[in-house]
Amino acid sequence: MAALQVTEATFEQEVLQAEQTVLVDFWAAWCGPCRMLSPIVEQIAQEHPEVKVCKVNIDEESDLAVKYQVMSIPTLLVFKQGEIVNQSVGVRSKSDIEEML
């Protein structure tokens, strides 16, 4: 399953109310490291159907970035039952991300 683009309007339903673990990628189109991380995030989405993978474009959803104190991108947040249980900033390897989950 491909990563799901979420907005402030859909964040609560798609992330906070999700039954399964959710990986959220905060990114921007102009961000080089975000473009490097994106294929890895998509690969996680394809190979781990038990995890919901979401993407938040910080240029379009700046309020979400502020709410979750995203100071640098790419930032990955892992949610379980609406709570952040893990996070990382910067490009990470696929195995590092899988360990976060």
Segment 42-51, tens digit of pLDDT:
999 999 999 9
Residue 21's pLDDT is: 98
Residue 77's pLDDT is: 98
**Residue 2: is its pLDDT beyond 90?**
no
Active site residue 54: no
For residues 21-47, give the mean pLDDT: 97
For residues 45-61, give the mean pLDDT: 97
pTM score > 0.85 for this model?
yes
Is residue 76 within 8 Å of residue 97, measured between CB atoms?
yes
CATH topology of domain 4-100: Glutaredoxin (3.40.30)
**Residue 1: is its pLDDT beyond 90?**
no
Q: Where are the beta strands (DSSP E) in the chain?
A: 4-5, 21-27, 51-57, 75-80, 83-89
Q: Which among 4, 18, 28, 31 is annotated as catalytic?
A: 31
Name the pLDDT band for 81 (thresholds 50, 70, 90): very high
Q: Which among 23, 34, 54, 65 is annotated as catalytic?
A: 34
User: Alpha-carbon distance 30 to 26, whole Å?
Assistant: 13
